Structure 1
Amino acid sequence: MVGFNKNIMRTILLASYIILIGLIITGISALFSYLNTGADRSSMLHTEIQKVEQYLPKLNWEPLQNEGRPMDSENLNALQNDYLDAWYVKQIAYKTNKIAGIKDYYTDSARLNLYDFIALNKAKNITIEATTLQHNPTLEFFSEDGQLAVITDRNVIEYKRVYKDETLVLETNELSTYKIVFLLEDGFWRIRHLVKEHTEIYKPENKMVNTDSLNIKGINYYPQATPWNMYGDDFSKDTISKDFKIIKDAGLNAVRLFVQYEDFGKASVEYKKLEKLKHTLDAAEEQQLKVVLTLFDFYGDYSVLNWTLNQKHATTIVNSVKNHNALLAWDIKNEPNLDFKSRGKDLVIAWVDHMIDLVKSLDDKHPVTVGWSNTESASILKDKVDFISFHYYEDLSDFDEAINKMKTEIPNKPLVLQEFGLSSYRGIWNPFGNSENDQMAYYKLAQEKFKTHNLQFMSWTLYDFTEIPKEVVGRLPWRKRAQEHFGFINQNGETKPAFTYISTL
């Protein structure tokens, strides 16, 4: 028995020794791999950066004709990613006055100046919200050992907002040129020197599109079965085509459609959504309807650091459909003024202003507008847009005065009433609401006023809906019930009395 126990003990000791040796070899192998490949950058960051996906300015590399060693695409891509991430962490540092992440993208000497600048701003309670919107880098030099690179980045478009004691003291658009020296350290490109060689105020050209032929008589559109989810799994071009025929036969010539920012994939616009949008434009063209396309709906952030992502979204949409025959105009954003209180009026207007410039730079053939929620905001950026769009859900007894005031403030631009309407809901949540006959009387009077003022219009909306997402009007049942009954066609597919006045008299 004693000999048997000794054998068991020897076996256990031998097995333990083998396991220990295996663990040591595994550890040494992992350490060797780490030292030869460099640490995983994602584990080093303290700013939760997800590489370039968080920062997507437009980037235009000049053809590679650099001195020294030729640059291959793999190295160029790595250099580009680390360069943009360096800008991103610097913008975060300037906004928060915290240095986390700086050491990951700047060498020892380069980060000292950044640390001093951040410390000074923190002491004086200064913060900077900034972004770069376009880069035009040229690779000047790539060393033979592959450890050093020099680029010149010309005409960098920068936007900055400087705050002192949480009060905006400076807003600026700049066009700058930088010289940057990179060192390859631990497998990553870090900035050793970044020198601004030139800067000037950036004033983008604002080309106006001729709108003399603009004659919008239209309607805002969602399919009855899939409102606010038009491009989802239940997308049906046949349904849309039938609805567009109803709209055309009713005497209208245009529809307003919506691109929801998150639904379309935000900066990474989904190909399938784009294809469905194109099919919708095809259906409009088949019925000889023109489309006013709203680029941002259900979006309300406006943070400066997100501008490059918003820019990528708009660029993808515009470039994908700007040559479609059905396209009539771009509407930048649905009712941005509703975000003035929560996001800050100046910031929202700055965002809209930039998006107007962007869309005009991508498409100089189609007019651009903004869908303001009321007449009071309609004059904002009036000199930037090609025509004025506004919404009106107030009492029609005040309509004439409001229109005359707008014509005085904005004498040289077409006015388009982009949304208007009256709910025919009368029920338990609003027993004193309007009837379908009240709705008909409203549209009859509205059309009379449009004729008097020679006003273009787009009503809300073709259908009554059975389900309204909470994101549209919230959860309150009396608001949801009212929103369900703005249509000219009821939930059973029957035309309501107001349908008689869906178009001009």
Structure 2
Amino acid sequence: MMAKKNLYRALLLLSFLAVNAGIIYGLAAAWSFLNTGADKSAILHIGGTIEQAYQPKIIWTIEGQRGRKISKQALGELEKDYLNAWYVKNIALNSYDQLGIADYYTEDARKQVNNLVQNNQDNHVRIATTTLSHHPQLEFYSLDGKLAVLTDHNVVQFEKVYIDGTLVHQQRTLHSYQVILMLEDGFWRIRQMVKIPNPDETENEPKQLSFDTKKWRGINYYPKDNPWNMFGRTFDESYIQKDFRTINTMGLHSVRVFVPFEVFGGASVKEEMLAQLEKLLDIAKEHNLKVLVTLFDFYGNYDLMDWTLTHRHAETIVSRLKSHEALLGWDIKNEPDLDFESRGKDNVLGWLSEMAKQIKQNDSIHPVTIGWSTPEAAVHLANEMDFVSFHYYEAPENFTERFLALKDSVYDKPLVLEEYGKSSYSGIWNLFSNSEDAQASYYEKMQTILTKEQLPYFIWTLYDFETVPSSVVGRKPWRKAPQKYFGLIDSEGKEKPAYRIIDGKRKGTTN
């Protein structure tokens, strides 16, 4: 009997302790929540950290800062919350959703944001906007670490203004701001942000590039066994060595390669991928080849809120390779005009125009182009490019007229036929109406025209491929089958008749 009483007492005591522990834990969790704020990524519904969605370039100046010297960690926290404040405001202006504003603006400051957003909503105005770069100078950091004053010089911002869903205005602006921030409940919050005049700065004249496209004779390159998938685990230096030796032996001088955006890591470019791309350029140099790098392949999101991520992708690659002796130039995007209908022509062109500026800021030496899918599409942004590139896969008989029309439209801009070729596929999907000899005849006609017009070119492509990913041409077999047979060399390594048409050294026409 006594044993049962002791057991009951023990159970009651344990229950009491468990209940109290639960209460204490709940109070502690609530206190922690109130002091640190809700999870920032959850607030903004972005499925990850804000840093994964918004990465404008930021360069700090802390020399001459007054007050307490700021630590690297404290500066990092200040930077993070300051950029987050810009991000949540951009979201609010675009969607009228003000979640997150309370975390990054003090009470008085968020009233101003709320009034602005409400006024826009009442007038059916929506502003899609993002900042592209910041140059904050820390003016003051208080002794208690709870007050910071900075001047953000030359903030580059791009915005599109919509009224009732119709785009009425878009612009790229440059402004400077005086900003006061307070540390409250674990967040740096903007207390005041005032636009101030920009300092007078003399814009640097763009450098005149020196390059000669007339001798460019090249080929679009993928290895035979892993087309559209040459980087990562499938990267094989020995195959590239062999293929580049073959390309050089043919009398060609250059290759065009493609950087798949997501595979390379998007905004956070993977070191492994970057090292492999650099190694490819090293191999090209060994074989006296130059490389035209297409920076964005398999990329199709031109949304303004995504711009800074693509800028970091380009900045990382361009900064790493811009001094490489084998680098020929930069091709921003492969056939972006094919995205006009699905993504919006203005969105695509706006992204391309800004990307060209970003690349030239990081590399003022190498030329920049865009790989348009047709001669007609290549008139877009021609004045902003260093040379104009286009693709052509139709009958040789129609080429000259369309080429000359483009030439007249872009005046003195150098032109490059960046992709051209003909499949040798003969099968059920084209009623066995083609052949390798027909492919050779196509090249013979095209090479005659290109020689006459002194038009530089990149052939599509070195090899036939046994497999073509559905992501390239879709799942329809009548589209996939021809795509496998564009090579000058078949999938077994045998030279096709077209190879002998292109082989400049064999014909004694390597220049």
TM-score range, shorter chain: over 0.9
- The 2-side partners of 1:115 and 1:93 are apart by 9
- The 1-side partners of 2:45 and 2:198 are apart by 29
- 3-state SS in 1 of match to 2:232: coil
Alignment CA distance shift 1:102-1:26 (3 Å) = closer
- The 1-side partners of 2:326 and 2:237 are apart by 15
- 3-state SS in 2 of match to 1:224: coil
- The 2-side partners of 1:382 and 1:28 are apart by 63
- The 2-side partners of 1:137 and 1:374 are apart by 44
CA drift at 1:251: 1.1
Alignment CA distance shift 1:465-1:351 (3 Å) = same
- The 1-side partners of 2:463 and 2:187 are apart by 57
Contact 2:418 2:459 (8 Å CA) reproduced: yes
- 3-state SS in 2 of match to 1:45: helix
Structure 1 unpaired stretches of 5+: none
- The 1-side partners of 2:418 and 2:218 are apart by 9
1:167 matched residue in structure 2: 166
1:406 matched residue in structure 2: 406
Q: Map Cα deviations across residues 67-97 of structure 1 (whole Å, 9 max, x no partner).
A: 2221111111101000111111111111112
Contact 1:176 1:200 (8 Å CA) reproduced: no
Q: Map Cα deviations across residues 333-382 of structure 1 (whole Å, 9 max, x no partner).
A: 11111111111111211111111111111111111111111000112111
- The 2-side partners of 1:360 and 1:43 are apart by 33
- 3-state SS in 1 of match to 2:267: coil
2:212 matched residue in structure 1: 212
CA drift at 1:432: 3.8
- The 2-side partners of 1:479 and 1:132 are apart by 42
Aligned residue pairs total: 503
2:36 matched residue in structure 1: 38
CA drift at 1:130: 1.0
Alignment CA distance shift 1:412-1:200 (3 Å) = farther
Q: In the alignment, is residue 300 of structure 1 matched against residue 300 of structure 2?
A: yes
- The 2-side partners of 1:371 and 1:464 are apart by 22
Alignment CA distance shift 1:201-1:117 (3 Å) = farther
Deviates more, 1:209-218 or 1:151-160: 209-218
1:460 matched residue in structure 2: 460
CA drift at 1:166: 1.5
TM-score (norm 1): 0.95
CA drift at 1:285: 0.5
- The 2-side partners of 1:267 and 1:398 are apart by 41
2:379 matched residue in structure 1: 379
- The 1-side partners of 2:403 and 2:213 are apart by 21
1:245 matched residue in structure 2: 245
Alignment CA distance shift 1:32-1:107 (3 Å) = closer
Q: Map Cα deviations across residues 456-495 of structure 1 (whole Å, 9 max, x no partner).
A: 1101000000111111001111111111111011111111
Within a 5 Å distance, the mapping from 1:97-108 to structure 2 comes to 97-108=96-107
1:69 matched residue in structure 2: 68
1:80 matched residue in structure 2: 79
- The 2-side partners of 1:342 and 1:34 are apart by 43
CA drift at 1:294: 0.6
Contact 1:489 1:496 (8 Å CA) reproduced: yes
- The 2-side partners of 1:61 and 1:8 are apart by 66
- The 2-side partners of 1:135 and 1:99 are apart by 23
What amino acid does structure 1 have at the position aligned with 2:144? D
CA drift at 1:201: 13
- 3-state SS in 2 of match to 1:378: helix
- 3-state SS in 2 of match to 1:233: helix
Alignment CA distance shift 1:206-1:171 (3 Å) = farther
What amino acid does structure 1 have at the position aligned with 2:40? S
What amino acid does structure 2 have at the position aligned with 1:308? T
- The 2-side partners of 1:485 and 1:40 are apart by 56
2:257 matched residue in structure 1: 257
- 3-state SS in 1 of match to 2:377: coil
Contact 1:99 1:115 (8 Å CA) reproduced: yes
- The 1-side partners of 2:351 and 2:200 are apart by 18
1:179 matched residue in structure 2: 178
CA drift at 1:7: 3.9
Q: In the alignment, is residue 482 of structure 1 matched against residue 485 of structure 2?
A: no
CA drift at 1:204: 8.7
CA drift at 1:5: 4.0
Alignment CA distance shift 1:43-1:302 (3 Å) = closer
Within a 5 Å distance, the mapping from 1:318-467 to structure 2 comes to 318-467=318-467
Contact 2:41 2:50 (8 Å CA) reproduced: no
Contact 1:173 1:201 (8 Å CA) reproduced: no
- The 2-side partners of 1:218 and 1:31 are apart by 65
The alignment-based identity, stated in percent, is: 45
- The 1-side partners of 2:94 and 2:23 are apart by 46
1:276 matched residue in structure 2: 276
- The 1-side partners of 2:262 and 2:76 are apart by 28
1:469 matched residue in structure 2: 469
- 3-state SS in 2 of match to 1:434: coil
Structure 2 unpaired stretches of 5+: none
Alignment CA distance shift 1:171-1:18 (3 Å) = closer
1:233 matched residue in structure 2: 233
Deviates more, 1:454-463 or 1:198-207: 198-207
- The 1-side partners of 2:478 and 2:200 are apart by 51
Q: In the alignment, is residue 285 of structure 1 matched against residue 285 of structure 2?
A: yes
- The 2-side partners of 1:95 and 1:271 are apart by 35
- The 1-side partners of 2:41 and 2:400 are apart by 63
Alignment CA distance shift 1:344-1:210 (3 Å) = same
Deviates more, 1:403-412 or 1:348-357: 403-412
- The 2-side partners of 1:386 and 1:102 are apart by 43
- The 2-side partners of 1:200 and 1:337 are apart by 39
- The 2-side partners of 1:193 and 1:182 are apart by 7
Contact 2:214 2:455 (8 Å CA) reproduced: no
Contact 2:55 2:309 (8 Å CA) reproduced: yes
Alignment CA distance shift 1:493-1:201 (3 Å) = farther
What amino acid does structure 2 have at the position aligned with 1:440? A
CA drift at 1:33: 5.1
- 3-state SS in 1 of match to 2:159: strand
CA drift at 1:312: 0.3
TM-score (norm 2): 0.94
Contact 2:103 2:189 (8 Å CA) reproduced: yes
- The 2-side partners of 1:433 and 1:206 are apart by 52
Q: Map Cα deviations across residues 248-268 of structure 1 (whole Å, 9 max, x no partner).
A: 101111100111111100000
CA drift at 1:502: 2.1
What amino acid does structure 2 have at the position aligned with 1:215? K
Within a 5 Å distance, the mapping from 1:1-150 to structure 2 comes to 3=2, 5-30=4-29, 38-42=36-40, 45-48=43-46, 50-150=49-149
Q: Map Cα deviations across residues 146-194 of structure 1 (whole Å, 9 max, x no partner).
A: 1111110011111111111221111111110001110111011000111
CA drift at 1:131: 1.0
